[in-house]
Amino acid sequence: VTDQNGKETVKAASSKFIVEMNPRDRSKDPTFMEVSENGLVDFGPVHDLGGVPVFNVVYPMKTGDFAFLTVNVSGLWKKLQSPKIGKTGRIAVVDDKGNYLTGFEGDDMPKVAPAVLTKLLTGEGGSEDGIPGDKGKLVGGFRYIPSTKWYVLTLQPQDEAFLAASQMTLQVTIFIL
């Protein structure tokens, strides 16, 4: 909990995440600054805290104080990253500027330039093929996550995604001949 000026007055955390027991000044935190100005609950970007992806939530209370919460999203991230799309396709979460959120930068994650993703991420959702990636063309689907600035994104190598259709076309051609 912070006072109206962003100074922590009450602090509780797991020993794994507590940086220091002394109260911190949160007044320069961009999310705190925005919430203290507009009075609406908001959350900040996902960032790394001791090797764990987290984000801060700032909630204005009726007393004039603010609840400043740090949320650990590592469990959710693991669940999203565990399934594969086909053999090598993956699921990621990106921000509205096309940047992968902290925790989705692994070597097995297909890489797409933020500028390319930004052009795709319009509206509530959709799909696209021929997306230029670091290891060739990709197909992908995306969906906006309501009340966030995030999109969930699936990416799969294009040749892998269309392999079954290509094989069926070949089999039909051989059968006809």
State the pTM of this model. 0.74
Mean of the per-residue pLDDT values of the chain: 84
Burial tier of 121 (Cβ tally within 10 Å: 0-12, 13-18, 19+):
buried
Residue 26 has pLDDT above 70, yes or no: yes
CA–CA separation, 54 and 75 (whole Å): 11
pLDDT in tens, 56-104: 999 999 999 999 998 999 898 888 887 777 788 888 899 988 888 888 8
